[in-house]
Chain A
Amino acid sequence: MAGGDDLKLLGTWASPFAIRVKLALAVKGLSYEYAEEDLASKSELLLTSNPVHKKIPVLIHNGMPVCESNVIVEYIDEAFAGPSILSDDPYERATARFWAAYVDDKLLASWATILFRGKTEEEKSEGKKALLAALDTLEGALAKCSDGKGFFGGDSVGLVDMVLGSQLSWLKATEVITGEEFFDGEKTPLLSAWMARFSELDAAKAALPDVDSVVEFAKMRQARMAAAAATTPNS
């Protein structure tokens, strides 16, 4: 660790947004203090560090907070030496930022719809279609970005790998909960190979929660949401 760098990460174990920051810190070889937040009882530090959103993750570097997961990942890339998370080339950087946004806007939104946001069977079914469509699109993206190498970032893990990789436990949990398979080694062979390769990384093993824990967490959250909906008048 660079002399005098004080790093603290406020997060929650299941959040893909916090997980991607852990991945970035690991890739850069940075040591940091991790604080698990209880979102039902947020710490003073979280509230003062992210007064606008009061959300995790927050990275606090020498007392200065950085908020928003993808902003934090780019910050880590720019503030610290070590393997690059984004390419030096402006066009490759733009491509990575485009796909990172796509992964959150389309892929994450689709499994969140399936598990939580979709209120009717129809909405959930739309979520499933969206998930499959997103995976199909990402297969094409991976083909182009990787250029025959192992990751979206090429030879090494980059921004898109981290943004997508941070969601792996949730993607698998979605399969377990719905009892449906979304990953098809035949339809998306590159993505399937990428998933296996990414999961083997030390950084991934350290940052990604096990699927069973995520399944349990998701089911508890679904139960809480159902209970709240049942007791809400005029819902």
Chain B
Amino acid sequence: MAGGGNGEVKLLGMWASPFVLRVRLALSLKGVSYEYVEEDLKSKSELLLKSNPVHTKVPVLIHNGKPVCESSVILQYIDEAFAGIGPSLLPADPHDRAVARFWAAYIDDKLLKASSQASSGKTEEEKAEGAKQAAAAVETLEGALKECSKGKPFFGGDSAGYVDLMLGGLLPWVHVGDAVKGVKTFDPATTPLLAAWADSFGALDAVEPVMPEVGKLVEFAMAMMSHAAAAAAATN
């Protein structure tokens, strides 16, 4: 519902989407209230189709009737449009902002892309290559966290910021992957900072209640995988 001075804020989303989660976490961190609309992606609403005609995807943030699309764009919009409310998501210094944007892009362009290939690659070889690249990306992010946090718990320093949110939105799915494969993506032995970060981030008051249940996500993932297997079998 309208957040009073914030105007009317509405979020079109899907409960399992890590991109939608990023936005929910950002709104929660900022303390901005909003109306959440769960979309059935197999039967998209008129509002979604009208608000994101280019991609017809969630998340879409609708602020005073005006839609903002693409999770990284929405996060920066939230930071700027609600600048007076709650903590800043991006630092003030231009160089620090550039570093944050760099790592946000890295998370999508490298980590996400590789993880996606690891699970949905067309051949076993492609999947293995994806897994290798994802592991390398995690290592690189360990180094990034060291640099950005300067000894504090988050990429944003003392408090969670843009990069924390971009990576944090992926956490439940990281846990799903870990549960299914019996591994630890943020292994305390090889990536101690990220392992600690995952715990700290997950425990934040603004984060904990917003995160989807990993058990439900595992069920969702299993259903998706069996659908995909059935589709593949049908086309052979």
Contacts and interface: CB of A to CB of B under 8 A. Distances in A.
Nearest to B101: A71
Contact of B81 (A61, A79, A91): A91
Given A52-B140, A90-B77, A102-B54, A72 B70 contact: no
B81 A66 contact: no
Interface in B57-107: 63, 66, 68-70, 72-74, 76-77, 80-81, 94-95, 97-98, 101-102, 105-106
A1 interface: no
A171 B230 CA distance: 41
A21 to B, nearest CB: 12
Interface stretch (A7-15, A30-38, A93-101, A121-129): A93-101
A87 B76 CA distance: 14
Interface in A72-107: 72, 74-75, 78-79, 90-91, 93-94, 97-98, 101-102
B76 to A, nearest CB: 7
A137 B54 CA distance: 8
Contacts of A75: 94-95, 97-98
A74 B80 contact: no
A68 B104 CA distance: 11
Chain A, interface residues (CB within 8 Å), range: 20 to 34
Nearest to A78: B94
B95 A98 contact: no
Q: Is the interface of B mostly helix, strand, loop or mixed?
A: helix
Given A68-B102, A97-B73, A90 B80 contact: yes
Given A52-B106, A90-B77, A93-B80, A72 B69 contact: no
Given A78-B94, A91-B68, A102-B54, A67 B102 contact: yes
A93 B106 CA distance: 21
B66 A91 contact: yes
Nearest to A52: B140
A193 interface: no
Interface string A59-70: 001001011101
B54 A79 contact: no
Interface of B: 54, 63, 66, 68-70, 72-74, 76-77, 80-81, 94-95, 97-98, 101-102, 105-106, 140
